[in-house]
Each structure stands twice: as C-alpha cells, then as structure tokens.
C-alpha cells in the first residue's frame, strides 16, 4: 500500500532541507504526541545509518517500531525504512529546487505486510484508502505551509 504527495514550498531548498532534517525537533514532536522515541546511535552529523526505536499506542495496543535512515543526500533526498510487528515501511522524501526561492517536496510512504495479522490491518487501511489519502495530503500540505511560515519569519 502506497501514499504519495507533492507540495510546492515558497522557500529555498537549503531552508526546507534543514527543516525536514531537524531530527531533534521531530523527536520532541513525537514525545508531545504520547510516544516514546530513543535515538539508537547519536551522530554529530546526520547520515545514513541513523536509527530510532519508537514505542506508541495504536488501536489499544502498544506498538514498537525501529526506524533507520538508509539514504541521506543533502539537500535532495532521504529514505527511511521501518519495521514493526509484521509491517515494513519505507518513507521516501525528495526535494527539487524549482527556483531560488521555491522547492518541491515529494513524499511517499509504502507499507508492506509480512504476517497474516499485518495483512488484515493493511487490508482494512485499503478499505479506507480515500479518507487516508485525503488526510495524508492535508497533513503534508499543512507541514509545507508551516515551513513557508518559518521561512517568512526568518527572512
């Protein structure tokens, strides 16, 4: 199952990449939402191989997930692979400079079930695909607007 979206952001690619690679900020955001996150290996500079262990409640159960950054090409591209009870995922983030002050953010998330119970979960997600796709697009659009606002405040 795959979700993809694209957003154009009124900010230079360097600013956008600095914001989307602010891992400490994302860790704090996840903690505020009630999940536990632990960086497996603290590196001074972001690079492929960084990893996090995340624990969060979902559908009445506590889930554990391991997330690893497998590709890091500043300021263009990042790929994260995740494994959780029976589901593997991949998040691919690409940035393209459309002009000096405009950047295109492309984001795709792919989920692959590895067990029968995970297949049932993914199948139920497929039934709600339209609603989930709309929510995914709205969340990414909201984040893109937030990035534009942050840039406008610093410029």
Structural domain boundaries of the chain?
2-154
The predicted structure's pLDDT at residue 148: 96
Total residue length of the chain = 155
pTM: 0.91
| Average pLDDT, integer, range 76-102 | 97
pLDDT at 120: 93
2-154: CATH number = 3.30.530.20
Residue 152 CA: distances (Å) to CA of 11, 20, 101, 102, 141 = 8, 16, 11, 12, 17
Task: Tell me the per-residue pLDDT of 118-153, one tens digit each, with 9 for 90 and over.
Answer: 999 899 999 999 999 999 999 999 999 999 999 999
Give the pLDDT score at 65: 97
Which residues, other chains included, contact 107 with Cβ-Cβ below 8 Å and sequence gap of 6+?
4, 5, 6, 7, 91, 92, 93, 94, 140
Phi-psi region of 122 (alpha: psi -120 to 50; beta: other; left: phi over 0): alpha
pLDDT in tens, 3-57: 999 999 999 999 999 999 999 999 999 999 999 999 998 888 899 999 999 999 9
- Are residues 121 and 87 in contact, defined by beta-carbon separation less than 8 angstroms? yes
User: Can you read off the two tokens belonging to residue 29?
Assistant: 């955001």
pLDDT bracket for residue 58 (50, 70, 90): confident
pLDDT number for residue 42: 80
């Amino acid at each position: 199952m795959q979700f993809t979206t694209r957003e154009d952001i009124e900010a230079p690619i360097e600013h956008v990449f600095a914001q989307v690679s602010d891992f400490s900020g994302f860790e704090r955001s996840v903690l505020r939402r009630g999940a536990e996150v632990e960086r497996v290996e603290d590196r001074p500079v972001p690079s492929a191989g960084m990893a996090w262990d995340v624990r969060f409640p979902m559908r009445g159960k506590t889930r554990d997930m391991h997330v690893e950054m497998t590709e890091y090409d500043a300021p263009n591209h990042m790929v994260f692979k995740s494994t959780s009870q029976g589901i593997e995922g991949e998040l691919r983030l690409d940035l393209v400079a459309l002009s000096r002050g405009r950047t295109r953010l492309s984001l795709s998330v792919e989920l692959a079930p590895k067990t029968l119970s995970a297949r049932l979960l993914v199948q139920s997600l497929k039934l709600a695909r339209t609603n989930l796709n709309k929510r995914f697009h709205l969340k990414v659009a909201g984040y893109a607007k937030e990035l534009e606002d942050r840039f406008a405040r610093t410029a």
